[in-house]
Amino acid sequence: MRALVFADAGAKARLEAILHPRIRDAALAAAAAATGSYVIFAVPLLVESGTWRARVARVLAVDCPEEVQIARVMARNNLPESQVRAIMAAQASRQQRLDAADDVIENGNGIEALAPQIDRLHDLYLAFSKRTATIPSQRL
């Protein structure tokens, strides 16, 4: 199905029209039931969808160099590089995702580099949840 969706824009649009409303409704229901100080939605196509940005207070991007991203997807999904690049070409660019983000976690330097960034954002989001004023972007 992946090959069809990324080779045929019409098939991709039809699939998204079926799936996205269901995914959105499930995510919003889970958020409504959440009891924490804040909620993080994982929205892989946030930039492309255009509908999520208005529903959230902040956008967090987890970023890594494109070559690292390609290698990780190839290993995780057992896909050839050409297919990974084709999938990426059908999505928002790295720069578009970064431009849309209020906050960025750099995920190209190993797992041990993530914890301090996550801790800082957690503290920031806790503080944000206690007040209504906006806070400046955090490029970590």
Examine residue 9 and state whether it is found in any structural domain, yes or no.
no
* Helical residues (DSSP H) of the chain, grouped into ranges: 2-7, 9-33, 46-49, 66-77, 81-89, 94-100, 114-129
Which among 86, 121, 90, 93 is positioned nearest to 105, based on CA atoms? 121
What pTM does this model have? 0.79
| Cα 116-117-121 angle, rounded to 5 deg | 115
- Tell me which residue of 65, 64, 17 sits closest to 45, measured CA to CA: 17
Domain residues for the domain of 102 are: 37-139
Averaged pLDDT, groups of 10, the chain, 140 residues long: 74 87 90 91 83 87 97 97 92 94 95 96 94 57
Give the DSSP letter string of 16-56: HHHHHHHHHHHHHHHHHH--SS------TTHHHHSSSGGG-
Specify burial of residue 89 (Cβ count, 10 A radius: 0-12, 13-18, 19+).
exposed
For residue range 102-133, list pLDDT tens digits in order.
999 999 998 999 999 999 999 999 999 987 55
Token output for 24: 């959105």
The CA-atom distances, in angstroms, between 49 and each of 10, 53, 102, 139 are 15, 9, 17, 23
Within a domain: 134 = yes
Number of structural domains in the chain: 1
Within-domain flag for 91: yes
Residue 114: which CATH number?
3.40.50.300
Domain-embedded: residue 124: yes
